[in-house]
Structure 1
């Protein structure tokens, strides 16, 4: 099987609010949009599709589901601390402040207006005890 692209599709209550969050704070651009639907692209990351909860394009058993238990994670090469500061100053809700894990992972999380959890990760040398 050969893949040509990767996309994460998220069902949210307010497509416009998540679209604004992704384009304003994460550098995504709108590729396609219609009522209750937007396709977002980023040159360095997975594409994101936002669908309005209740939309009839989804199978009936999926229409009322909400984003839950999903963490959309992005790995960055450097500058994680500066990105957290930038987002904090822009009023983004930081739901897990920057921290360092002993296995070499530095990370922080934000949550968009619809509850989508987004994690940013930078890998460093692990601590040796």
Structure 2
């Protein structure tokens, strides 16, 4: 596996407040902003931050899981390999319209590991 970037995901109640905090005080910039999440980055070696709006319909214990995201190359190949290894895949490989392919696994302690690959957006 070739990891090319890392992202820390935070589930928050006040998306705008956290976005303002990280961009104003810590020098992050918005890469992508939607009603459900904001992706923040810097030009140095800092991990990217994904701020995810808490879904009020989900119980608190379901949304408080720690998540680490690794951007990888050839995610389809990794997905096949992990499936053959009986890895605990908790979200099947999918493609999002904004140009991201992703899958998730969950470790025995509830840590969610998300693997992503950035691709051309649908229709691009």
The structure with more radius of gyration: 1
TM value normalised by structure 2 = 0.47
TM value normalised by structure 1 = 0.45
Which is strand-richer, 1 or 2?
2
Greater length-normalized contact order (CA 8 Å, ≥ 6 residues apart): 2
